[in-house]
Amino acid sequence: MTWTDPFSDARSRLALLSQSARDWALFLDIDGTVLDIAERPDLVQAPPGLTDDLARVSDALEGALALVSGRAIRWIDERFQPLRLPTAGQQGCEIRLEKNGPALDGVIVDLNESRERLRPLARLAGIEIEDKGLTIAVHYRRARERTAWVRARIERALTGLGPGIEVLSGRLVYEVKPRGVDKGSAVARLARMPAFSGRMPVYFGDDRTDEVGFREALARSGIAVQVGPNQAPAGCAWVESPEDVRCWLAGLFACAPEAACA
């Protein structure tokens, strides 16, 4: 699906998308998609009302709403408590397949060498190492004035890791994670669960790490939506900001039960 109308604003596009929403399996990235990105990971918070909107939409979709994130599931649960949705955390390295179910670890690799290599970088101004257990994120959002230098240092530190580890470059972040598991594989696994099976997958994301999720949704004849400043990959719809996504969620299924609203 590609949007060609230059006069349609984000909310009009989302309204058009939601016309068949009751048949969807909805997959939502978190940072930069439903939550605004903050200067530091610990400063990210869920705005008032978002948790209630997610719970309502999940109920309307009979449980076919999942969060898909680079964050750890524990972090996600703290931000959206008491809600416990199906969730893929740490780029799919941990997953909760059912609402209120247990969080399960997937592929595990030894990241100790990566930790040692990154330790000196943690002392550099503007770089923050977020060790999530199964993956490690290297943030450099606060080093924008010397991005090229910082990127070179990070890439040099992470060159030549073991064959089971890969490094993904995102928006002002590098993700160190097990090879062969990602947001796309998480979507595929969730799509086989009873709540999601037989529905059209719709994936909202904002960063390069979401592109595998986009491809998985599109391969299943679904919809992919790029949120924010990155150029939308081929076949994806596009909206401007997390605020537009939150406003859309607030209106979705908020009218008569037989119709979706936006």
* CA dist., res. 152 & res. 144, Å (int): 13
Pairing of strands 173-178, 237-239: unpaired
Q: How many CB atoms lie within 10 A of CB 152?
A: 11
3-state secondary structure 191-222: HCCCCCCCCEEEEEECCHHHHHHHHHHHHCCC
Q: Could you tell me if 28 and 65 are in contact, meaning their C-beta atoms sit under 8 angstroms apart?
A: yes
**Which of the residues 5, 9, 23, 29 is marked catalytic?**
29
Residue 91's nearest CA partner among 217, 220, 189 is 189
Establish whether 182 is a catalytic residue. Answer: no
* CA dist., res. 121 & res. 154, Å (int): 8
* Active site residue ranges: 29
